[in-house]
Homo-oligomer: A and B are copies of this chain.
Amino acid sequence: MSNAYEELKPFLERAQAFQTAKILFEWDNETLAPRMAEPNTTKVVGTLSGEYFSVVTDRRVKELVKRCQKEEGLTEVERAVVRELAEEIEKLECIPPKEYREFAELTARSTGIWARARKDNDFDSFAPILKEIVEYTKKFASYRAGEGQKLYDVMLDDFEKGFDTETLDRFFGTLKEQLVPFLKKLTDSGVEIDNRFLTGDYKKEDQEAAGRFFAEYVGFDFDRGVMAVSAHPFTTNLHNKDVRITTSYNDHVDDSLFSVIHESGHGIYELGIPDELTQTLVGQGTSMGMHESQSRFFENIIGRNEAFWVPVYGKLQERFPKQLGHIAVEQFVKAINKVEPSLIRTQADELTYSLHVLIRYEIEKMLIGEDLPVEKLPKIWADKYEEYLGVRPENVSDGVLQDIHWSQGSFGYFPSYALGSAFGAQLYMYMRKKMDFEGLLRKGDIRTIREFLRENIHQYGKLKTSRQILKDITGEDFNPQYYIDYLVEKYGKLYGI
């Protein structure tokens, strides 16, 4: 037993409590809080952020961390907590407390401003605060940047350790090189999939009931979780007994359905964190990329798999007899996998999805590395959509304002989405060799698949990096080729090309 670690514990508990309170305020802000609450609530959140900052950077904490780093007898978890804490101190210490607090208050306000701007289709009302956020984010990255390190690389590293612009340029390069010709071949094939029946009078209450059913079916535990509505679907967690997902409803039934399965994937990751790790600094998913690998695994590799629907499509038909009663399961599966270059990332099909991410990646590089003025975003966004996807947003709500991330100061996050898909595909291609994956789905046995993920990924929290996890499971380093192979196989079959 380490004395220094024992002394550290009360500080860790306080830091944890402030973080958890902040998370609850964020959740509440996105799902429930009244329109005018913001300025007053922002003060509270700002104070809590300040407290978190104070406790983590407390002189005594720093001394104890140093002692812990030298001491023998720490458990593996304790060592990992100390490592995370040391990193967090380093990250926070570069930032003057006043600026840290200002930024917390800024982002507490900005998500509300973004939501209204999106609703009102008014980029100008969001631009000034976005500009401030970009400035803060760059300033904070500059405090931490190593000699000659790009600011954007500092941000990328926060979301996925060991992945920088160079690696990602290569990753996205590979995707472009192989997927763009494949997509062309596919759209030129003349195969037309009818998915019009997915749009229509799908009542909100029925979509919600269906969402709850499928969340539970894939393994989201409502005894330890809740589901609510927000502008942009997201997952959050207070600890491993309180994990929360949101969705939103429109007249496309597949939007809410697959966003619920997607968020359930995130949720199941957090629900799989063991009691020993929850409420510690290593009690969360290891990285954004690995998190997305799980959400997209559930959404696409499981949820858009024909085998998945064999045992449960009837349930969906029962819920929507008028809309789906006459649609065969094969037709439904084709429809939910229809490839169609479109404007909204979260509604994109699995094949064109990475192009949406590519656009954001390129724009972030410009915003952070090339001082692109935020005022130019709507046009650049639209131009890139036209260039890569052949579609041009007619308004900013369907364009540059569609995602919440930038309003939260999350630059460098988007690439994780594409990386996550690639991680997931690598896992799937491996798992297929070890188990009758589609056979399990056909039997309605999601549990065996989920348990594999829990045992090999979820239970480790932040004890392993994404790369380690991939290597320990598949015996191989990260290899994006599996992603290409998976997509080409799946869509080649679906489109008969």
Residues of A within 8 A of B (CB): 13-14, 16-17, 20-21, 24-25, 28, 32-41, 43-44, 47-48, 51, 222-226, 228, 238-243, 278-279
Contacts and interface: CB of A to CB of B under 8 A. Distances in A.
Nearest to A55: B51
B40 A239 contact: yes
B40 A242 contact: yes
A17 B240 contact: no
- Which of A21, A25, A36, A278 is packed against the most chain B CB atoms within 10 Å? A21
Contacts of A43: 13, 17, 279
A228 B34 CA distance: 12
- The count of identical subunits is 2
Contact of A14 (B47, B223, B238): B47
Contacts of A32: 226, 228
Contacts of A224: 34-37
A37 to B, nearest CB: 4
Given A13-B43, A16-B44, A25-B24, A37 B279 contact: no
B239 A34 contact: no
5 contacts: A17-B44, A21-B24, A21-B25, A24-B25, A37-B241
Nearest to A33: B242
Nearest to A279: B40
Given A21-B25, A47-B17, A34 B240 contact: no
Given A25-B24, A37-B224, A43-B279, A17 B51 contact: yes
A223 B21 contact: no
A278 B13 contact: no
A48 B25 CA distance: 14
Contact of A24 (B24, B47, B241): B24
Given A14-B51, A47-B13, A48-B17, A40 B226 contact: no
B16 A242 contact: no
B37 A238 contact: yes
A37 B48 CA distance: 22
Contacts of A40: 238-242, 278-279
A226 B33 CA distance: 7
A455 B222 CA distance: 46
Contact of A39 (B34, B225, B241): B241
A230 B162 CA distance: 47
